[in-house]
Amino acid sequence: MSTHSVSSGPSLPRITVIGLGAMGTALAATFLNRGHSVTVWNRTREKADPLLGKGAQFAGTVAEALAASPLVVACVLDYAILRELLTPAAGALTGRVFVNLTTGSPRDARQMAAWVEQHGAEYLDGGIMATPTMIGQPESLIYYSGSEAAFRNYGDSLGVLGAAKYLGRDAGMASLTDMALLSVMYGVFSGFFHAVAFAGSEGIKAAELMPLIKPFLEAVASFLPMYVEQIDSGDYARGVVANLGMQAVSLGHIARASEEQGIRPDLLKPLLALFQQRAAAGFGQEDISGIIEIIKTPGR
């Protein structure tokens, strides 16, 4: 690795990016475009070539990559890989601000925070609510949690990637928020995929269904504030307009109709089971939001 200073200029810190998959490459390219000097490291060196063409420097080892910059951003496949990469280089973490944008659980984040801090670095965990093409664009959003001082000192640099929202000192909170929002996303996706397969069983194209889905989604979302009130108050009978007992039967009809149409009801069945369990426990006259009481108990 060529020798270089640890800063980009009078005001912009040099930044190291570890991991040059689709996301790490977008992060490094954005830092470069915004005038930062950037050092990169990736297991597969060739992936760095386009960035080297834009002025990035390649570090020969993870330890060199950590030593090169006061601010280090990591984005690899998972936490286990990151830990494996960092362990032999842990001594070089001292004095660094280490920002981990790898996806993992809140527990992963808290354990990583403790380990990184043990090695003398400040730790920020991040949950990226964007795809690689969105990085650096106004619609990109990244949640951060962990060291307050790190966010205070480097929030502006991190802000070039997209809106940077700090969620407090508990390193697990960014991941918790990320995963909660992604749960909403996957719920919507699963309903969409089932709907398309169901309509498709009669030859209706997804493109024909789409104009009906968009406004319906808005109507569906308008129910959420009522569920919020019921859930936060614990009063699942408050303002109920469509009771659970009826909806359990109704969802059962959709599952049966799916089988009749020759498609799999697999995406509907887990929700139906929760509706039926809650109704069988005597809560059929309450709202469907009461299934939260089952969901929030530990899984079997």
- Using CB under 6 A as the criterion, which residues of the chain lie in contact with ligand FVH when the complex forms? 19-24, 42-44, 47, 75-78, 81, 85, 102-103, 128, 131-132
Residue-by-residue DSSP string for 105-121: -HHHHHHHHHHHHHTT-
Shortest reach from residue 108's CB to ligand FVH, in Å: 10
Confirm if 132 and 22 have CB atoms less than 8 A apart.
yes
Shortest reach from residue 174's CB to ligand FVH, in Å: 11
3-state secondary structure of 251: helix
Q: Considering beta carbons, is residue 73 or 255 the nearer one to ligand FVH?
A: 73
Q: Considering beta carbons, is residue 20 or 267 the nearer one to ligand FVH?
A: 20
Q: Considering beta carbons, is residue 18 or 231 the nearer one to ligand FVH?
A: 18
For 31, residues 6+ apart whose C-beta sits below 8 A from its C-beta are: 15, 17, 38, 73, 157, 160, 161
Q: Considering beta carbons, is residue 138 or 203 the nearer one to ligand FVH?
A: 138
Shortest reach from residue 294's CB to ligand FVH, in Å: 29
How many helices (H) and strands (E) the chain has is answered by 12, 8
Query: Which residue has its beta carbon closest to ligand FVH?
Result: 21
Q: Measured between alpha carbons, how far is residue 107 from residues 124, 125, 175 in Å? A: 14, 11, 9
Q: Considering beta carbons, is residue 65 or 268 the nearer one to ligand FVH?
A: 65
C-alpha neighbours within 13 Å on the C-beta side of residue 138: 0
Shortest reach from residue 53's CB to ligand FVH, in Å: 17
Shortest reach from residue 47's CB to ligand FVH, in Å: 5
